[in-house]
Structure 1
């Protein structure tokens, strides 16, 4: 059974729509993978321990904090900048406060600029690795432990970086199941 021109055009258009939808769906995980592998887009490295090499050269690290529109927390870095020796382990803190009367869960997304520095900025431990739940009125200090990889001084573009900015943006997320269960249990206890 042969298709007429109109049916053939419809089939081709449906094929193009399905292909474009598949490419759009795959673009986010592909871009994430690409950024993690190359350090493009300011994606940082992760390590379990500090660098075994510390240079006499220093680099300035600036800290920035913001929130997604509608996120009710207060969120800010506790210090705006610090100077560390390249390879030295640094420790910085951010502060978050939940001014509401109910628990709120959040997840931090991060970025490093300039982008050339992303692959050399290495986190050992960070509040951004897990979701955070703040109870009503709770204020917390959240640490990030990091170092700047000494290989930055030998990199064609990285050697010209003298200042790095670490930025976090907090987004509200759904409460984890255990927090929802605790709220439900607390509500039953208060009713009795």
Structure 2
């Protein structure tokens, strides 16, 4: 009975690993995953642009270039592109951008997008208020849709010696076709995500 209990527990944990890991990354910014914890933007003061360097109030804060990258897996017949290649934001300033997705096939398809941010050390300060990532996106045959991303860079990055000098950030998305998990019935990307390197600090 003990052996059976251990086996069942191990099996349950193996299927819970992906959603638990996803929640952990979203809460901590681990491995280049942007933050999606609502408590991070519940205070209005966090959503006010920082015009002065908090460590030197005589110095103006420089804007940070945020570039957008979009790709799809070979198994999904969609085009997926950012409507803006880049924008410049101040820490604490909210920004809205859109990605355009077009289903080129003759059938309705459900897709799921994964994402990461580069360099990965900025991820704990990259907060997404609204995003289409890891959500079911059903696009009809021939349909074209705009998908929004609403985000801001936390002003606390200016007080962190690892991130205060970051001037270029890349937010990258990849769309996969979706499959339904045979155990829990949830939709998930139809690929082995362990084969994809996320959060690679290349800047």
Q: TM-score, normalised by structure 1?
A: 0.72
Match status 1:55 vs 2:50: yes
| Aligned match for 1:132, one of 127, 131, 137 | 137
Question: What do the CA deviations read for 1:121-149 (whole angstroms, capped 9, x no partner)?
Answer: 10111122521111111011111000000
SS in 1 for 2:98: strand
Q: In 1, Cα distance between the equivalents of 2:12 and 2:136? A: 29
Q: In 1, Cα distance between the equivalents of 2:24 and 2:179? A: 28
Structure 2 unaligned regions, length at least 5: 1-6, 52-60, 186-203
Structure 1 residues 28 and 103, CA gap change in structure 2 (3 angstroms): closer
**Bigger proportion of residues as helix:** 1
Structure-2 residue corresponding to 1:145: 150
Structure-1 residue corresponding to 2:80: 75
| CA deviation after TM superposition for structure 1 residue 28, in Å | 4.7
Match status 1:40 vs 2:45: no
Q: What is the root-mean-square deviation of aligned Cα atoms in Å? A: 2.7
| CA deviation after TM superposition for structure 1 residue 22, in Å | 9.2
Structure-2 residue corresponding to 1:64: 69
Q: In 1, Cα distance between the equivalents of 2:13 and 2:137? A: 32
| CA deviation after TM superposition for structure 1 residue 106, in Å | 0.6
Structure 1 residues 74 and 52, CA gap change in structure 2 (3 angstroms): closer
Structure-2 residue corresponding to 1:10: none
Structure-1 residue corresponding to 2:116: 111
SS in 1 for 2:133: helix
Q: In 2, Cα distance between the equivalents of 1:21 and 1:39? A: 27
Match status 1:157 vs 2:162: yes
- C-alpha contact 2:114 2:134 (8 A) present in aligned 1: no
Question: What do the CA deviations read for 1:154-185 (whole angstroms, capped 9, x no partner)?
Answer: 1121112111100000011148x9xxxxxxxx
Structure 1 residues 124 and 31, CA gap change in structure 2 (3 angstroms): closer
Structure 1 residues 21 and 160, CA gap change in structure 2 (3 angstroms): farther
Q: In 2, Cα distance between the equivalents of 1:115 and 1:79? A: 22
Q: In 1, Cα distance between the equivalents of 2:94 and 2:175? A: 24
Structure-2 residue corresponding to 1:5: none
